[in-house]
Amino acid sequence: MAGAENIIQVRGLRNSFGEQVIHDGLDLDVRKGEILGVVGGSGTGKSVLMRTIIGLQTPDAGEITVFGEPTIGREATEATEVRKRWGVLFQGGALFSTLTVAENVAVPLREFYRDLPQALMDEIASYKVVMTGLPADAGPKYPAELSGGMKKRAGLARALALDPELLFLDEPTAGLDPIGAAAFDQLIASLQKTLGLTVFLITHDLDTLYAICDRVAVLADKKVIAVGTIDELIALDHPWIEEYFKGPRGRAAIAAKDEVAGMAPRSADADAARHPTEVEAHATGQHSQGNAADAHARGEAGTR
């Protein structure tokens, strides 16, 4: 993929809240048409990174371009054209509880296309509802009437309202049961393929990483310490990465993936050995996260 077009480019990003430095010298490229998984221990700043890329958080320093347009320090009104080209599924879905599903989906349409006739807005909303696998009668329902999985789908329908080219997903499968999570993974993969989307996907879910991500970016030590395929990452000598992918959950995820593929069980080491790394990594050997992977896996709500 050398020379692939970067849809998102982050350089030298620094974010802090008071004394707490979240990112320092963070670089990241997201390539056109890929599903990039973003992982890291709790509090490493995955959501803050996403919020900064989409312009909801102003960093102390750094440069970010999305579709070649700078997003930092621009008023929402200035960046309208580029904002229309992405959709966001926030953690937990972030639906407006007083609006129906269809009204939630119509929110971005109202924001960007005020003059759109109501009938057309309704039609687009119903189409997006069905597209995300919700029953057609989900449109008039309120979020409180939906299951967790349905809420995620409604949030995804809203994220797709403007036919985006780029999708930001913040922990889309958190809190879903394994079957619901696997179904949601497949929905993302099939939408990505059908619509040719580029996807920035924050997750703690190893099954999601194995099932649908083309590459994975690892956040630790205030930076993206490595980016690559899982095989490439596993081949790196970094304690957090090793523990994350080769810990109990990592091994279970590999076994599940192999079972789906009808392959004999193998180990993460064997996986890595098949692909000697050429990772585009900034693997630095810094490892202040220590046992974060394990702690993270234990504390994570995802049940897979």
Ligand X SMILES: Nc1ncnc2c1ncn2[C@@H]1O[C@H](COP(=O)(O)OP(=O)(O)OP(=O)(O)O)[C@@H](O)[C@H]1O
> Which listed residue (8, 29, 35, 45) binds ligand X by CB under 6 A?
45
Q: Minimum CB separation from ligand X for residue 46, in Å? A: 4
Please give the biggest Cα pair distance in the chain: 57
C-beta of residue 303 within 8 angstroms of C-beta of residue 178: yes
Amino acid at 19: E
Which residue's entry shows tokens 């980016």?
227
For position 46 contacting ligand X by CB under 6 A, the verdict is: yes
Q: Minimum CB separation from ligand X for residue 49, in Å? A: 7
Q: Which of these ranges, 5-13, 35-43, 94-102, 121-129, lies near ligand X under the rule CB under 6 A?
A: 35-43
> Which listed residue (7, 8, 10, 22) binds ligand X by CB under 6 A?
22
> Which listed residue (7, 28, 40, 104) binds ligand X by CB under 6 A?
40
* Nearest one of 110, 101, 97, 119 to 162, comparing CA atoms: 110
Three-class DSSP labels, 84-116: CCEEEECCCCCCCCCCCHHHHHHHHHHHHCCCC
For position 208 contacting ligand X by CB under 6 A, the verdict is: no
For position 48 contacting ligand X by CB under 6 A, the verdict is: yes
Q: Minimum CB separation from ligand X for residue 47, in Å? A: 3
Q: Minimum CB separation from ligand X for residue 88, in Å? A: 14
* Residues 6+ positions from 268 with CB-CB distance below 8 Å: 234, 245, 246, 250, 251, 254
Cα–Cα distance, 168 to 261 (Å, whole number):
28
Nearer to ligand X, 42 or 288 (CB): 42
Nearer to ligand X, 179 or 301 (CB): 301
Q: Minimum CB separation from ligand X for residue 122, in Å? A: 35
117-147 as b/e: b if 16+ CB within 10 A: eeeebbebbbebbebbbbeeebbebebeebe
> Which listed residue (1, 21, 43, 291) binds ligand X by CB under 6 A?
43
In sign, the C-alpha dihedral spanning 226, 227, 231, 232 is: negative
Name beta bridge partners: 33.
none
Q: Which of these ranges, 37-45, 73-81, 147-155, 234-242, lies near ligand X under the rule CB under 6 A?
A: 37-45
Nearer to ligand X, 150 or 218 (CB): 218
* Nearest one of 12, 13, 8 to 34, comparing CA atoms: 8
Binding-site size for ligand X (CB under 6 A) equals: 10
For position 42 contacting ligand X by CB under 6 A, the verdict is: yes
Residues 70-109 that bind ligand X (CB under 6 A): none
Nearer to ligand X, 159 or 191 (CB): 159
For position 44 contacting ligand X by CB under 6 A, the verdict is: yes
Nearer to ligand X, 45 or 143 (CB): 45
Backbone torsions φ then ψ of 3, nearest 5 degrees: 80, 5
Give residues in contact with ligand X (CB under 6 A): 17, 22, 40, 42-48
